[in-house]
Amino acid sequence: MKTKQALLFSALITLFSAGSFADEAVLKDGRIGYVMTDLFWSVYQTEDASQECPRGFNDGPREQFEQLFPYHEGLSVEETQLAQEIETWHPSTESDGFEFLEVEGELSWGLNLDDEISANDFRHPDGTAGIDNEVYRAVGCVIGFRGPDGVEYIFQNKAIVDERYNRMMIELSGVESLENDDQLTVTVYRGMDRLLTDATGGKVMPGGTQRVDRRWGESLIREVRARIIDGKLISEPMTDMVIPWQNLRVPSIQLIRDARLVLDLTAQNATGLLAGYADVDTWYYQLIRNDSTHHLSNGQISGISLYKALRRLADAYPDPDTGENTAISTALDIKMTQVFITHPKPLGGD
Amino acid sequence: MPQGFRVEVTAEGPVFADTNGNTLYTWPQHKLRNGYSGEAKGTPACYDEVLTVTAGLMSPYPPGIKLPEIEKRLSCMQLWPPVLASEAAEEVGDWTIVERRDGTLQWAYDEQPLYTSIRDRQPGDVIGGTRRRYGGDSPAMRVPAGPPSLHPPGFAVRQTSVGRMLTTDKNAAVYSFDGDTANSSACQDQCLTNWHPVLAPALARPQGEWTLLERSPGNRQWVFRGKPLYTYELDQSSWSQQGSDNPGWHNVFTQHAPRYPDSFTVQPTLSGEVLADSTGKTIYRYNCGEDSADQLACDHPDDTQVYRLAMCGGGMAEKCVEYWPYVIADADEVSPNRTWTIVLIDPATGRFAEPGQEGALRVWAYRDRPVYTFGGDKRPGEVNGGGTGEWRGQRNGLKAFWLRDDYMGGIL
């Protein structure tokens, strides 16, 4: 019996050793790749939402329709359904008559994007002041954006895994160590292959292979300097990062200005934040093009009300003509899994 | 086939037609968000009643809302005349006869009642409906009826924006290679790593355009129109066109789509290729179906324009022209075929204009419906307008005209 225990102990030691060996193995020629498996707008949630949404949650299209048209039977399509769709697709900043419930709490996930601390900023749960995340202020009290079962939370994450259009990857190069490295390069690519999963098909596994999409994804490639401090990757800002964002077969994008990555690295995973300033119109139209009023209704997301909030809370990139801000600070929770990235030769190449 | 019917060759493939050459359509039952529309087999549901309120078959809007322009609205039967059978008519094979509510008899094919469309004007027109895919959130569409495709078991033919694509019955794209002939394959050894011959079963026999190539004893490959057929190992999705990136390799079509106007261009995007105007701006098609029990279309210039004007310009025609401009045909351009035509449109109403009418625009139309560009697209290859409108552009909105996509089945 003792012999069996000794063998088991020995096997465990070997396994742990193999893990270390694997860490080294995936960092080949100073390179390691990760593929995105989760991406959602970062929302700081307390258990009963009492801190961030003390007055409850916003109404969605279904609730607003009932309040606007309690006796719809005598009304026409133009006066009701199309009136609401016009407001959705041709939005304005004028009041829709509904009070919009913004986040009222002081805490938020995110980064200090402008290196300033102002009265309008949030505080990180770790105590860091100056957190810029006005998208959170807008969507934090909208049920559809809250985990674990908000319609956006579910749909978008399912799409990140299922839709190859969304297959964003990063490749770190010039890496000496995943623990500390004061100078390396992060290159953003889109992959073109399905993800490697376990036998259930539900869990993405490290060790898969992705070909870089050089056919259609060339314009998505970005390169930025970064460093690793105590296992945390911190990139410099990318001027404009385009995130391919497809859901329900409508290809669209998100445009994040001054985008930066802060990721906890292991040889198997990269987990953390993608933060920057989202272009407001791109943000809004991605939402409503990918999700119909029906889908938004399931998350009590009024596109009409939300657009006004986004414009009101926008805090960067003022329009040179009007002075109105065109971008809004944000953070996205991001999870990535290690992948071997291959670089196919361009079409027509040797 | 019963007497009086025939087969017409159309842009949608072979279809059944009546004695005057009018294409025959079915209205298959279709599951919507809050119930079913269309016709169950053997049960006509299109009658001479002008519906006045919405059915609430979609979400989130409730039923009972007044439909637009009720005074001008046509009944289902006015738009879709049933193909009536005489008392003496006899059923033949899949052609059967069903009884309508008023006791009249109507022809059915595969038990689906048959109709013609008032939108079709001459033999071979398929303006009334399409065989292209429509999803769960699309209206219950009318579909051209026709004979089954003459392909061997194991294959399928899918209507796409670029033609009738040949696939396996599991929707894998099928390819041919320039270096092959009906009796020889240039794809050997290493080539077979990525290209898999579509093999025929032991009992398969040549028929019509389909022959067989014996690659090795007992190992026979299907050949279509003189070219051996393959699937591609690296295809990542159904109905893929990725294999055609390899020099000499091509997707196989039983029929190519009618050629788009010469002045149009093809632009690369993040997803694939879209059709674009001469300046590179993406072309969009408008789709519309009412939330009524009869699911009447509202995507044609002869239909109510209330829905389209709401979506493209917030109800204002002048804004529509600004946000979603028509694609103007040059004075010297002519229609290349009956799918791509030049029509006169009154931009103030969105309806067809009379020749010589002041302010009328001469614009490109696809299947008799104008096509558009989007003011929000600033550079070639942008598709920022795709999915605009209700139900991601499927019910009252616009979708880009995809010619190839590697990511979302957009050509279907």
pLDDT digit string, tens, across residues B208-232: 999 999 999 999 999 999 999 999 9
Q: Tens digit of pLDDT for each residue in B272-319?
A: 999 999 999 999 999 999 999 999 999 999 999 999 999 999 999 999
Q: Both B216 and B285 in a single domain?
A: no
Which residues of chain B does A65 touch, with a Cβ-Cβ cutoff of 8 Å?
A: 60-62
User: Does A86 touch chain B if contact means CB atoms closer than 8 Å?
Assistant: yes
Which residues of chain A does B319 touch, with a Cβ-Cβ cutoff of 8 Å?
A: 90
Does B392 contact A194 at a Cβ distance shorter than 8 Å?
Answer: no
Q: Both B18 and B61 in a single domain?
A: yes
Token pair of B240 as six digits: 């893929």
Does residue B154 lie in a domain region? no
Does B66 contact A293 at a Cβ distance shorter than 8 Å?
Answer: no
Who contacts B66 (Cβ-Cβ below 8 Å, separation ≥6)? A74, A75, A76, A77, B52, B53, B54
Dihedral sign (CA B220, B224, B228, B231): negative
Which residues of chain A does B68 touch, with a Cβ-Cβ cutoff of 8 Å?
A: 76-78
Does residue B339 lie in a domain region? yes
CB atoms within 10 A of CB A28: 11
Residue B28 is given by DSSP the state B
Is residue B54's pLDDT more than 90? yes
pLDDT-derived band at A314 (thresholds 50, 70, 90) equals very high
What is the C-alpha separation between A156 and B206, in angstroms, rounded? 49
The torsion of the CA quartet A116, A120, A125, A131, rounded to 10 degrees, works out to: -40
Determine the pLDDT at residue A238.
Answer: 98
Does residue B410 lie in a domain region? no
| Closest alpha carbon to B343 in B317, B367, B322, B321 | B367
Domain ranges of chain A: 28-106+133-342
Does A251 contact B386 at a Cβ distance shorter than 8 Å?
Answer: yes
Least confident of A24-33, A80-89, B118-127, B183-192: A24-33
H/E run at residue B392: helix B390-393
Q: Indicate the residue of B59, B271, B391 with minimum beta-carbon distance to A297.
A: B59
Q: Considering only alpha carbons, which residue of chain B is nearest residue A217?
A: B270
Question: Nearest-CA distance from B192 to chain A in Å?
Answer: 19
Q: Considering only alpha carbons, which residue of chain B is nearest residue A83?
A: B310
Is residue A347's pLDDT more than 70? no
> E-strand spans in A252-306?
253-265, 269-279
Does B311 contact A297 at a Cβ distance shorter than 8 Å?
Answer: no
Q: Indicate the residue of B33, B68, B236 with minimum beta-carbon distance to A164.
A: B236
Is residue A241's pLDDT more than 80? yes
Amino acid at A178: L
**Residue B168 lies in domain:** 162-256
| Closest alpha carbon to B311 in B328, B323, B301 | B323
Q: Considering only alpha carbons, which residue of chain A is nearest residue B63?
A: A73
Q: Both B241 and B310 in a single domain?
A: no
pLDDT over 90 percentage in chain B: 99
From chain A residues 101-160, the ones with a CB under 8 A of any chain B CB are none
pLDDT-derived band at B175 (thresholds 50, 70, 90) equals very high
**End position of a domain, from candidates B105, B121, B147:** B147
CB atoms within 10 A of CB A317: 16
Distances (CA, A) of A106 to A52, A102, B228: 8, 12, 67
Is residue B336's pLDDT more than 60? yes
Q: Considering only alpha carbons, which residue of chain A is nearest residue B52?
A: A76
The CB-based long-range contact list for B310-313 (8 Å cut-off, 24+ gap) reads B310/A78, B310/A82, B310/A85, B310/A86, B310/B396, B311/A85, B311/A86, B311/A89, B311/B388, B311/B389, B311/B390, B311/B396, B311/B397, B311/B398, B312/B286, B312/B372, B312/B398, B313/A90
pLDDT-derived band at A346 (thresholds 50, 70, 90) equals low
DSSP assignments along B74-93, one per residue: PPHHHHS-B-EE-TT---BT
Q: Considering only alpha carbons, which residue of chain A is nearest residue B315?
A: A86
Number of domains present in the structure of chain B: 3
pLDDT-derived band at A157 (thresholds 50, 70, 90) equals confident
Q: Both B332 and B284 in a single domain?
A: yes
Determine the pLDDT at residue A24.
Answer: 58
Determine the pLDDT at residue B364.
Answer: 98
Does residue B411 lie in a domain region? no
What is the C-alpha separation between B115 and B81, in angstroms, rounded? 6
Determine the pLDDT at residue A5.
Answer: 55
Q: Both B30 and B142 in a single domain?
A: yes
Is residue B407's pLDDT more than 80? yes
**End position of a domain, from candidates B212, B227, B256:** B256
Determine the pLDDT at residue A1.
Answer: 40
Does residue B337 lie in a domain region? yes
Least confident of A158-162, B120-124, B254-258: A158-162
DSSP bridge partners of B344? B362
Is residue A68's pLDDT more than 70? yes
Size of interface A-B (CB pairs under 8 A): 131
What is the C-alpha separation between A195 and B173, in angstroms, rounded? 21
Is residue A8's pLDDT more than 60? no
Q: Considering only alpha carbons, which residue of chain B is nearest residue A247?
A: B408
Does B314 contact A164 at a Cβ distance shorter than 8 Å?
Answer: no
Does B392 contact A61 at a Cβ distance shorter than 8 Å?
Answer: no
Does A77 contact B410 at a Cβ distance shorter than 8 Å?
Answer: no
Geometric angle at alpha carbon B11, from B145 and B257, rounded to 5°? 135
Determine the pLDDT at residue A345.
Answer: 76
CB atoms within 10 A of CB B225: 14
Determine the pLDDT at residue A18.
Answer: 44
Who contacts B323 (Cβ-Cβ below 8 Å, separation ≥6)? B312, B313, B374, B375, B376
Determine the pLDDT at residue A156.
Answer: 83
User: Does A302 touch chain B if contact means CB atoms closer than 8 Å?
Assistant: no
Q: Both B195 and B113 in a single domain?
A: no
Q: Indicate the residue of A76, A215, A244 with minimum beta-carbon distance to B66.
A: A76
- Are B69 and A78 spatial neighbours (Cβ–Cβ below 8 Å)? no
Direct distance between the N- and C-terminal alpha carbons of chain A, in angstroms, rounded to an integer: 62
Determine the pLDDT at residue A64.
Answer: 98
Q: Considering only alpha carbons, which residue of chain A is nearest residue B66?
A: A76
Does residue B157 lie in a domain region? no
Does A75 contact B66 at a Cβ distance shorter than 8 Å?
Answer: yes
What is the C-alpha separation between A160 and A145, in angstroms, rounded? 16
Q: Indicate the residue of B33, B65, B270 with minimum beta-carbon distance to A244.
A: B270
Distances (CA, A) of A228 to A262, A289, A332, B220, B244: 9, 37, 20, 58, 42
Is residue A19's pLDDT more than 60? no
